[in-house]
């Protein structure tokens, strides 16, 4: 399956968020492969988006949002959780990223159960911090290049039907923008 090129990520952040639905997130650990179809995303932009981490300018945590597109932005939150984003924006913006909120597990489901230490299939990767745990994504993958990495990347996926647009989850400011996107499989 073809890895998404850099040009895929150098378009408007909201457009990239929609287009990532149905694509495949792949993670290699040793000789094992873990993968899943992306089923929910959220766009976070820059100065026009008060909910974005980049809104207030560069910090130690968010600096890759201002760097090259197609890079993994992973942040630590609530003292225990990691969330995974792909840096994406067009030339009108200096920062932007797409949060991957949910996956449909494909390969390596056994590994995911092990990583998550649970037994219910439904709770495997249906939340941003759940999928990072299932795929063993941590700060070590911060700044990884998704277009050239051998251990963490995104490829072409499946054809999708209808996309649902909703307010983003867990934010106060910017809740009027419908930048949460979802598909049913």
Q: Which of 30, 31, 78, 176 binds DNA (CB under 7 A)?
A: 78
81 touches DNA (CB under 7 A): yes
Q: Which of 12, 76, 107, 155 binds DNA (CB under 7 A)?
A: 76
Contacts (CB under 7 A) with DNA, residues 85-114: 85, 97, 99
Q: Which of 3, 107, 118, 175 binds DNA (CB under 7 A)?
A: 118
SS3 of the chain: the string is CCECCHHHHCCCHHHHHHHCCCCEEEEEECCEEEEEEEEEEEEECCCCCCCCCCCCCCCCCCHHHHCCCCEEEEEEECCCEEEEEEECCCCCCCCCEEEEEEEEECCCHHHHHHHHCCCCHHHCCCCHHHHHHHCCCCHHHCCCECCCCCCEEEECCCCCCCCEEECCCCCCCCCCCCCEEECCC
60 touches DNA (CB under 7 A): yes
Q: Which residues bind DNA (CB under 7 A)?
A: 42, 44, 51-54, 56-57, 59-62, 65, 73, 75-81, 83, 85, 97, 99, 116, 118, 123, 127-130, 133, 168-172
């Amino acid at each position: 399956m073809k890895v998404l090129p850099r040009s895929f990520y150098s378009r408007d952040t909201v457009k990239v968020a929609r287009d990532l639905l149905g694509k495949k997130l792949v993670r290699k650990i040793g000789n094992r492969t873990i993968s899943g179809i992306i089923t929910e995303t959220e766009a976070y932009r820059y100065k026009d988006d008060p909910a974005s981490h980049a809104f207030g300018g560069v910090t130690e945590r968010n600096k890759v949002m201002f760097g090259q597109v197609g890079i993994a932005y992973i942040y630590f939150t609530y003292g225990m959780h990691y969330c995974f984003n792909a840096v994406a924006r067009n030339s009108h913006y200096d920062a932007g990223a797409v949060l991957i909120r949910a996956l449909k597990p494909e390969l390596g489901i056994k590994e995911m159960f092990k990583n998550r230490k649970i037994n219910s299939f439904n709770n495997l990767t249906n939340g941003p911090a759940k999928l990072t745990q299932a795929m063993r994504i941590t700060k070590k993958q911060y700044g990884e290049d998704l277009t050239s990495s051998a251990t963490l990347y995104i490829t072409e996926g499946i054809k999708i039907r209808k996309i649902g647009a909703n307010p983003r989850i867990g934010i106060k400011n910017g809740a009027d923008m419908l930048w949460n996107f979802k598909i049913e499989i």
